[in-house]
Structure 1
Amino acid sequence: RYVLTILIYVVTLSSTLAVTHYSVPEELEEGSVVANLAGDLGLDVKTVIERKMRIEIIANKKYVDVNKGTGELFIVERIDRETLCLAKTSCYLKMEAIIENPKRIFYIELEILDINDNAPHFRRDIIDLDISEATQAGERFSVSNAVDSDVGSNSVKAYHLSENDYFTIDVQTGRDGSKFADLILKKSLNREQRAVHHLLLTAVDGGVPTRSGTASILVHVLDTNDNAPTFGQEKYEVTVMENSPIGSIVFDLNATDLDEGSNSDLIYSYSLYTSEKTQETFNLNPTSGELTVKGVLNYEDIRIYDMEVIATDKGVSALSGQCKIKILVEDMNDNHPQLSIKSFQSPVSENIELDTVIAVVSVSDKDSGDNGVVDLHIPDNMPFKLRESSDNYYELVVSEPLDREKVPEYDITFTVTDRGSPPLSDNETMTLELLDVNDNVPQFSQSFYIIRVMENNAPGAPLSSLSAFDPDLHENQYLVYFILEKEIANTSMSMLFSINPENGNLYALKTFDYEIEKEFLFHIEARDSGSPPLSSNVTVHIIIVDQNDNTPVIVSPWRAHGSVVEEKIPRSTDKGSLVAKVIALDTDSVHNSRITYQFLQVTDASLFSLDQYNGEIRTMRMFSYKDPRHHRLIVVAKDNGEPALSATVTIKLSTVETAVKAYSDMTEMSLEYDIFSDINLYLVIGLGSVSFLLLITILVTIVLKCQNTKPSKSAPPSRNSVISERNSTIADSTLVSNDAYWYSLFLAETRKGKLVVRQPVPKGSRYIVSSIPRGTGQSETSGSAASTLQV
């Protein structure tokens, strides 16, 4: 990148000695060729090769060496002239070259030429100068000069100063040709306007291209005491409250001085125009200028204080300023308002009328103006209000209905507050008690009581507690309990139940039987002891719960004597034919009356089956010649109670050789077929008789219903009669309806040659079931020969 200027001259010192001179710029790149040494010595490459000449540098080989094959002189390491020759103006490298065949020695001189590779720089980057603001214009100030490692035209040639209104520079040349600058003040400085001046001094060299360096000059303007202290205002007006505590701040004087240091340190003092009374009442801090209360302030004694304050600086030639202060003493709200309760009525009845006066209160305040105006109030959300009756008199009246059960008493706080700043207040609390009035009816915890009582209960046993609550007090709260009389079947409730009049505990006076009495409905009244008394009543529903206390009764097949029944069936009976049907009834309810049937004993378990729900006994196969002619079947009918109760029936079954076909089906179609095809004449006559008797029964029932006669006594006594309150509906899975029962009973009894009839009893709530031996012609229940079931 550099232009090589090679000046070659040969000076012959003798026939064997010569000096070769080269000039090269500094900082040539490594490997750069300086000159062709062989050519400069008068030798070409061919000659060097043929003679096997050897050229070798024997000095300063660190920077320069020669190519032994071509004779070229090249740079080994970059050369920095400023490092090699320091501050010298000229710089040389001297070396020797040896050539063999014939052997000769040459002296070589390499001059290192300077380039502008260094910029001017100042010994300090920041130059600080202190100049008084009293310095006259034209004053000269020396600043450090810039230096440049380059030489000649590449060194510092000029200085430049940044543009400003106060300073300029003058460039001087030293004996060694170096350049330096002096700073000259163009006009006077003012520290109060500008305390520091920032200048930039630039040094420029003469190289191409030029290089430069800069230094910052900070001129600090030194203060002189040329400014007097000043206050923000010439006159001040300050307000201070009377009774202000000693030491409280009245005003903070803050005079300013544009100077600095001791020239701005101020001392505050009273002038001769300030009275002694004022100086005794207020203290002036000489250092801070703080004005505080020194004596007692009383608005009634002195309302205005005038003073004059002087501020003086501590400069050599001290300067001062002054101001006037007017202090106004303001009246203070230093009297508390007063309240007085003239009358207060307590206790009062809770049903007191609205707008009734409860209390009279007076208020007052010794202050004047707003400080003497007062307001009286009571807490919010209270059922009272204040009403002004006259000047400074107020009445407390009832504004909402009172309820002792919600709030038994009120703590009423009367608070009087004046309108001063800050406001002052006074208060007084009174307690208002409320007297109870019988205004609450007794309350039961439930509006309807359901009480379940197990039948066969012990008389006098407690059933439940029906206590009520009355929020009133004393006698208004004392309750008495009654059973409201109600007759059921000429029986009063008080004969069945008893209630403790003091605590409402309910008792049963008799033992109940579910099969006779299932429920009771009556009312209990609770009455307080107030005047007049208040009461409320509640409905009580007593439900008698059934116990398994009735044993099942077998009503079919019909048994004339004992528990053994004899039946005959054709031996040719088909498989699945109905042999017999056991029907049992239980006067208990729900699960206690659910009947299931089981064999206790059977002659041949493979021949007969028993349906556990409907009691039907059927053949499981046809009879064979190996089967015995007589069979003994024992059936037990068991209810579902805990513990279970049961009844048994023994059926002696005999097979006969006859053409009579067994009734194998219970459906209506099969029955009709059997009647009109296979049943003998007796069966047909029996069916006709049953239909006739059924018609008669319906007619009798209608007549009795119309006559509305009283119930008759029970049916004629019979060993097999049983009475049930089931209203002709049997709650058993084997009897879906009354018709199913009659149908089953008809099949069982007809085979015995008996007629089955249903006879109504008065009121139509029961039926008398009569099983009459066929052919007797009886149409009503009679004697012990018939089996009667009332349902």
Structure 2
Amino acid sequence: MLAAALGGQEPSLLPFSLLLLAFWEAGSGQVHYSVLEEAKHGTFVGRIAQDLGLELAELVPRRFRVASKERGDLLEVNLQNGILFVNSRIDREELCGRSLECSLHLEVIVDRPLQVFHVEVEVRDINDNTPVFPETQKNLFISETRALDSRFSLEGASDADTGANALLTYRLSPSEYFSLEIPTNDEHVKPLELVLRKPLDREVTSEFLLILKATDGGKPELTGTVELHITVLDVNDNAPMFDKAVHRVKLQENARNGTLVIRLNASDLDDSSNSDILYSFATGVSSNIKTFFYIDSASGEIILTGRIDFEETKLWKLQVEAVDKGSPPMFGHCTVLIEVLDMNDNAPELQVTSPTLSVPEDTSLGTVIALVSVTDRDSGANGQVTCSLSPHAPFKLVSTFKNYYSLVLDGALDRESVERYAVVVTARDGGAPALSTTASVRVEVADVNDNAPAFAQAEHTVFVRENNAPGCHIFTVSARDADAGENARVSYSLVERRVGERALSSYVSVHAESGRVHALQPLDREELELLTVQVSARDGGAPPLGSNVTLQVFVLDENDNAPALLAAGGGLGGGGGPGALSPSSLVARGLGAGQVVAKVRAVDADSGYNAWLSYELAPEAGAARSPFRVGLYTGEVSTARALDEADAARQRLLVLVRDHGEPALTATATLLLSLVDGGQAPKASSRAAAEGAAGARAALVDVNVYLIVAICAVSSLLVLTLLLYAALRCSAPPSQGACAAGKPVLVCSSAVGSWSYSQQRRQRVCSGEGPPKADLMAFSPSVPPVLSSGENGEQLDISGTVSTAIQ
């Protein structure tokens, strides 16, 4: 492992290679490592998973990944063992230039839950760059008359490394005429001076060849050389001299072309043409400098000709020489250092991990939903950036490390209130004036099944006529779910229960999607007057939510039952059989008009108006001349006139019993009456008349009491239903169903009295077939009229008027 970390260096570097071992510190949430540049592929950097407290088994499930703003392929993580290793060649000089600090900033991101770690990997310098002189050969022209200790400026070497690896020392090849001096230790300028130690004599030695060697402080040492070709000149004894060896100038970046940088001044002690000076950049100056700067050869003015940028070059070093017009010419040198001043010309740069996010509405507070990073190429206050959010939204920015932020949920989300947020992140630097950048983040609130389907009201009243067609639509339930998508898809079902001996599902069904309620079979009011149906609405969420609604289905009566005759013993007789009297009865001929001789009793299984019965003699031959008549509503058979000898001895009466339904249904009863002389059966007649009257009264009272109680109970239930329906109609929208409006009139009539009750109501009634009707009627007959004999033998007819009101 150490050999791999050394990147192929010699074993003598083993102690120094110990510095390559990874280290980390738990400070401000950051892990630090260090690695040498030029390390080979696979070189161990650190156990990043272990140092971040992550289990190896959860790296892949949690989507462990490493991101870097610099070249992202330099380092890689082995997801099997959690080791960070060198993936490709790292060149510190290419990555950071001459900067003393050089680090790779990594973002380690894991999901479920989202966590962000910051890792800093310091790239340490190795001595992989040799010192380089501006040129490999330099020509110097020195007059033979130059005084001892004359100095000649030389351009030093540069080393791309940093620290001790860039610390240069110089050695000059041995010479009795020249020596090398470094007069200052300026951090930017390292001028070298060639010092004349012995008088020159061109006639003795006209040329010198010296080697200047630069050695850096690395291990092993690297060197660079330049050849100094010195030509000894004659006559022109004084070289031009600048007033300062080093000129320092400050120039703002983005200065306009043509800006005067500095005006140089050099002087020459010679006379005539030997003192005329021309200025120029030194021979070894790069072409890049000549692109940005121009020097006037006559005036020595340096003028800006290109756009300088602090972010690209912070310091320009210009080597300028002055040459006179002597023969041979003499040279003087100076250095111009141009420090570029930063201006706030770079707006902050924002980067959001995802510009469009989807966040469930039940996300807990404090959850990180996005990562934001910001950079500014400026320096100082111009590069200090602050971030803010707008407009007001349930989010906040939390600074995690330097210019890294997390977009964190700061308030509860409710998709039903706000479906999406448009959050604007603003980054503003500290310059004057300040520059800012904005980035929009769209946050879509994902639906969570937190709303149950809701009905408009908890209970509905539905009216359905009996004998409806199978499959008749009787009502439609509807529930609304405030959620979206599958969470709002409502399905309906029947809440099963027992109705008597049968299941509720055998009576009605509910369509799962539309909510339409259908009657599966014809309903019989005589079997079932009220059917309570409970429908459940469930959404498609996981888990599903639901609610229930109750339908009170009232079965309205249809005239589907014919009157049924009661036998003499109280049981039901045949449809056309005898009534309360025996088929053959004796009647005295001496009876006067109005005497009760028999009674026909019948009941109807229907209710209300459909159960209101009337009696009449069948219109057959001779019925108009019959000495008998039947009470319209009592069914009592009485003499219409006094019986005489002319009347037939055997009388056959056919009584027709009819209800008031539409259409009316009937039943018939046949009575056989035998007329006997008053002397033959006076007692029988008298007793029969008395017993017949008493029996008729008792039977009539018994039958009508039951009928009154039944009809009054039904009428009361119907009135209560109508009142309840009126209250529901006032508080809720009209219920659905195949129904029509009507104004029912409640009528109760009998032979002894009548009463009517009208209520202006609009009822919605479902009928199995045909158009809807509006004639709801509840009828409850009173006690039938009673015929009694007074003390003088006269017949008393207790009767009343019959009134009906039908709409």
Q: Please give the TM-score of this superposition, normalised by the length of structure 2.
A: 0.36
Greater C-alpha radius of gyration: 1
Indicate the structure whose relative CO is greater, using CA pairs within 8 Å and at least 6 residues apart.
2
What TM-score do the two structures reach when normalised by structure 1? 0.37
